[in-house]
Amino acid sequence: MGALLCGPAATARVAGKLGAVLFQFPNWITAVPKAMRHVEHCAERMHPFVTAFEFRHESRFSDKHRESTLAMERERGFVHVIVGAPEGVTKRAHSVWEATSPELAIVRLHGRNASTLSGAESAAERFNHDYSDDDLRELAPPIEDIAGRTARTHVLFNNCYRDIARRNAVTMMGVLQVTR
């Protein structure tokens, strides 16, 4: 991580091109004290960069930990990454439509293909989902709500099979009436 602070990321930050450093914590990073220490270590190493956390394990947003996870992000100024993933997949966090920073919200859409999420061999296969226009229209209201609560909102498509992320992003821009 130290090299990141000195190289292209530092140049991008100075040039106003780096919005945030996003940490995607896999589903084996659960809501236990040791994992929390790791999260805090990552944040300390990234200071003064804006830091965003994508928690993928459902324990982070269980009834027991949801409020404390969001409160921790708010208190420390971390950006909560809203995960768009298939419903019904166990041990995976699902969409928690909350903004923890007034400056930035990040929505990261992984597709809705539950059958490939756990069984695929490559990331491209795992996130092989082409959002329909109806899917994207369904996502627009919560995205617009979050955008109304933050200075900037980034919507990232992680459905990285072939060119579907790019096509879905262009369609979403039309749905949200966003211009380049």
- What domains does the chain contain, in order, with CATH numbers? 27-176 (3.20.20.410)
Q: For residue 26, is pLDDT > 60?
A: yes
For 30-62, the pLDDT digits (tens) are: 888 888 888 889 988 888 889 999 998 888 888
Cα within 13 Å of Cα(71), Cβ side: 5
Q: For residue 14, is pLDDT > 80?
A: no
State the pLDDT at residue 27: 79
State the pLDDT at residue 29: 83
pLDDT-derived band at 6 (thresholds 50, 70, 90) equals low
Q: For residue 5, is pLDDT > 60?
A: no
- The C-alpha atoms of residue 24 and residue 21 are separated, in whole angstroms, by 10
Mean pLDDT of 7-13: 65
Element (H, E) at 54: strand 51-55
The more confidently predicted of residues 132 and 127 is 132
Q: Which two tokens stand for residue 31?
A: 């809501």
* Residues 6 or more apart in contact with residue 155 via CB below 8 angstroms: 106, 107, 109, 143, 169, 172, 176
For the entire predicted model, the pTM comes to: 0.86
- CA dihedral (99, 168, 54, 106) positive or negative: negative
